[in-house]
Amino acid sequence: MTALSVVFGIAKGQIFGLGGFLLATAFPAMLRAALPGMTGPWFLGLWIAAVAVPILAFSRVFRKGRLGARCYATCGIAALVILFVGDLTGTITVYPWNTSFYVVPDVFDRPATPAPTR
C-alpha cells in the first residue's frame, strides 16, 4: 500500500506542480501586460514571489505528511523549480509568453448604437 501511495504522490506532485507554475506565472504576466512600465527586475521579483507561494504550500505538506505526501511535495517542488529555472533561462518554454491580456469594457460601458433610420 505504501508503494501505491508513493506512485500516486509522484503523479499528483507533477500535475499540481505544473498547475501551480502556470497559475503563478499567469499572475505576473497579467500585471506586466496591465502595467507596461514595469521593468524586468520588478517583474522577476514578482514572478519569484508568485512561484514561492505554491512552494511554501508544498513544503508544509512535506513537513506534516507521511511517505506518499512527502513524495507528492518533493515532486511538486522539483517540478516548480525545474520549470521556473528552465523558463527563466529559455531552455524550457511552458508558459505561452506570446499570449496577450486585454482589458475590454463591459457591455454596459459601450455607447448605445443609434436606432436604424428608414
With pLDDT > 70 as the criterion, what percentage of the chain qualifies?
83
Instruction: Give the pLDDT confidence score for residue 37 in this predicted structure.
Output: 85
Note whether 17 and 80 are within 8 A (CB).
Answer: yes
Instruction: Give the pLDDT confidence score for residue 78 in this predicted structure.
Output: 92
Instruction: Give the pLDDT confidence score for residue 65 in this predicted structure.
Output: 84
Q: Grid coordinates standing for 78? A: 522539483
Instruction: Give the pLDDT confidence score for residue 93 in this predicted structure.
Output: 82
Contacts of 67 (CB under 8 A, 6+ apart): 2, 5, 6, 9
Mean pLDDT of the chain: 83
**Across 19-25, average pLDDT:** 90
Instruction: Give the pLDDT confidence score for residue 111 in this predicted structure.
Output: 57
**Across 55-78, average pLDDT:** 89
CB atoms within 10 A of CB 103: 7
